[in-house]
Amino acid sequence: MARIKENPCGLSQEVTLAVLPRLYMEEVVTELRRRNISPDTDTAGNCREHLLRILQDVMEQEYRGAVTGASSDLGSSLDVLHLPQGEATAECNPQNSTTRNIQATSSDPCSLLDLEDSDLSNDGVEQSQRAVQKQNSRQNDSVTADAVPVSVTVNENFGWSISSKDSSTARRSTERDEFDNTVQHRQSCGLKREPVDQNRDGTSENVIDRCRNCSCSFHRDPNIPTVMAEDLFASFGNVVEQGQNENFGLVLHELVKQVAENRRAIQEIRDQQQQRLHEPDVHVYGGQEEDQNGRSRKRRKTTHKFKVPDNKCRDDVRKIYKSLLEGDNDFNGFNLNETLTSRYNQQVLQTLHWEIAKEYGGEEKCPFSPMEVKDAARRYYRSQRDDRVRREKGKLMAHRNAMRKEQRLMQKVHRRRKALEKCKDSWSDRTKQMAAEILAKPYQSSESSGEETQDPPRFTVRRLPWESTALRKLKDSLDEICPQRGAARVLSSDFSDRTVPEGTPPWAVKGVYQGDLEESMSDSLED
DNA sequence: GTCTTTTCCGGCAGATGGAA
DNA sequence: TTCCATCTGCCGGAAAAGAC
């Protein structure tokens, strides 16, 4: 009970954000109301997703506790949160040629196609806004009286910023931004404009707003004018006093998030298309087989192959993932009960990407593309799932034992290869060729793991029943050059139950198993 | 350097959904 | 209905990382 008093908003910290997407609409509404946020459900319709995002933001803020009384502040601002047909409007000053109409449409989010049509890759920010405007024009009858003039710069990093001379406005905007991962820059930071992608003559088509106080930075297309909010406030009167800036900030916040999500989706599609261009045949087909009608039918051998990310990228993903898990934050890692494409896991992927970019000092300095990071994270997710499945099925130990055994066999091969390398000058070509033929796992005696628990550990070696004297002698010779170290090996009287591998050279197989070829081969080894 | 543990990776098969 | 692409679960095994 004491805990509830401490946390009047209901959900405790133990209830992670992961459960949010599973809430029913009524539960979402209840949770919002508990925070003095009254969604107008009559008009909100099926805006569950929208309300969920609001609730999630509020909860994140509560959890972080970064802003004292922020909840109540936000709550009061959202006291009546109307979402008529899922739309709320922030309209630009029509008198200002550089401003744009921006309309948030929660029930009808920015169409991916619209954004795609606008070709975001070149001058994405402006065009994305145009795309939004395009959507706005379809619904421009519903410009609300609450509209607040603003121009927002959606930067390449999917961040956004507004500025105002009104310190309280700036502060509140910033407070809300701080718990939104898409916002990477604090309002209070001073920005220093630096050219990027300089040409040889020192000119630059792009500038970057680099923060004086922290490492964050934004790319900016110089073609996209940034209209300072104070100008707009001046044009429209002091909307802060009218208490509208809160709604505006929220709407803008949601809008920019939506645009950012769409842009990310587009970028993913582009990356995939680019990948297909470079790897035109990602679908590998095996041999053909005939169906019942005798028609030739292709059988797909493998499915879509993900690009194998760089080792460093995978390492970074794992390290960041682990450090986030251990850190004092809301990061709880993947939800292995959900698919990777679930909303929650996609957020995890996004967080990883942001954190890695942050680690390198910004998106532009990060050596890995978002797609690479995503692929690496996907691998890691799959590994963790595999591991969990094995653990749940009680096969984890069996897998480990099998791997141990496998690794010992591999090490044996490596050791014998090293031995062959050492004696390459003293052995005849014929002998070296024979040794090379059998330096593979199938030709090594198995080392049973049955007595591994002994202290000191001791392995039982079971020889291959089919190996010829020539093979035995050859392996012994290699072992003399590079002896087996470590745990003691005890030769078992039992033989391994492995059969003759396919493609085994005849000289390596005992006569009973394969003709009587070993004698002559064995002779050649004598020298 | 040895051995173990963790992570990564490819292949196969079944399920699913869209297109023809 | 059939065909095909994709996703997912599962498995075996290779390789890297970690512990000693």
In a domain, A167, yes or no: yes
Q: Does residue A317 lie within 7 Å of nucleic acid chain B, judged by its CB?
A: yes
Look at residues A17, A50, A81 and tell me which one is the last residue of a structural domain: A81
Could you give the percent of chain A with pLDDT greater than 70? Answer: 32
| Residue-level pLDDT at A48 | 66
Residue ranges making up the domain that contains A187: 89-264
State the total domains in chain A: 4
In a domain, A409, yes or no: yes
**Residue tagged 């999917």 (tokens):** A158
Which secondary structure element, helix H or strand E, spans residue A105, and what is its range? strand A102-105
Residues A498 and A384 in one domain: no
- The three-class DSSP label of residue A482 is coil
Average pLDDT, integer, range A28-35: 74
| Residue-level pLDDT at A266 | 54
CB A308 within 8 A of CB A317: no
Q: Which amino acid is at A142?
A: S
Residues A498 and A417 in one domain: yes
pLDDT band at residue A65 using 50, 70 and 90 as cut-offs: low
Look at residues A230, A264, A298 and tell me which one is the last residue of a structural domain: A264
Residues A248 and A322 in one domain: no
**Residue tagged 């198995």 (tokens):** A446
Average pLDDT, integer, range A144-168: 30
In a domain, A288, yes or no: no
CB A188 within 8 A of CB A167: no
Residues A28 and A123 in one domain: no
Please confirm whether the linkage preceding A456 is cis (ω < 30° from 0): yes
DSSP symbols for A346-379: HHHHHHHHHHHHHHTTSTTT-SS-HHHHHHHHHH
| Residue-level pLDDT at A258 | 58
How is residue A430 annotated by DSSP?
Answer: H
Gap between the Cα atoms of A146 and A238, Å rounded: 12
Residues A332 and A383 in one domain: yes
Residue with smallest Cα–C1' gap to B11: A302
In a domain, A68, yes or no: yes
| Residue-level pLDDT at A334 | 78
Take residue A107 and report the two structure tokens written for it: 């029930």
| Residue-level pLDDT at A515 | 52
Residues A466 and A519 in one domain: yes
Q: Does residue A387 lie within 7 Å of nucleic acid chain B, judged by its CB?
A: yes
Look at residues A245, A264, A283 and tell me which one is the last residue of a structural domain: A264
> Is residue A508 predicted with pLDDT exceeding 80?
yes
pLDDT band at residue A67 using 50, 70 and 90 as cut-offs: very low
Average pLDDT, integer, range A479-496: 72
> Is residue A348 predicted with pLDDT exceeding 60?
yes
Q: What is the mean pLDDT of chain A?
A: 53
Q: Residue A190 CA to C19 C1' — how many Å?
A: 48
Tell me the Cα Rg of chain A: 33
Which secondary structure element, helix H or strand E, spans residue A260, and what is its range? helix A245-278
In a domain, A15, yes or no: yes
Q: Residue A401 CA to C13 C1' — how many Å?
A: 13
Residues A146 and A250 in one domain: yes
- The three-class DSSP label of residue A177 is helix
Residues A343 and A371 in one domain: yes
> Is residue A151 predicted with pLDDT exceeding 60?
no
Residues A431 and A380 in one domain: no
pLDDT band at residue A378 using 50, 70 and 90 as cut-offs: confident
pTM listed for this prediction: 0.44
pLDDT band at residue A142 using 50, 70 and 90 as cut-offs: very low
Q: Does residue A417 lie within 7 Å of nucleic acid chain B, judged by its CB?
A: no
CB A452 within 8 A of CB A459: yes
* Sequence-distant (≥ 6) Cβ neighbours of residue A65 within 8 angstroms: none
In a domain, A26, yes or no: yes
- The three-class DSSP label of residue A458 is strand
> Is residue A131 predicted with pLDDT exceeding 60?
no
Residues A45 and A126 in one domain: no
Average pLDDT, integer, range A240-258: 52
CB A288 within 8 A of CB A296: yes
Nucleotide nearest to A305 (CA to C1'): B10
Q: Does residue A407 lie within 7 Å of nucleic acid chain C, judged by its CB?
A: yes
Residues A103 and A207 in one domain: yes
Count of Cβ atoms closer than 10 Å to residue A13 Cβ = 12
In a domain, A386, yes or no: yes
In a domain, A279, yes or no: no
- CA geometry: angle at A238 spanning A84 and A213, to 5°? 95
Segment among A160-169, A435-444, A472-481, A516-525 with least mean pLDDT:
A160-169
Residues A96 and A209 in one domain: yes
pLDDT band at residue A388 using 50, 70 and 90 as cut-offs: confident
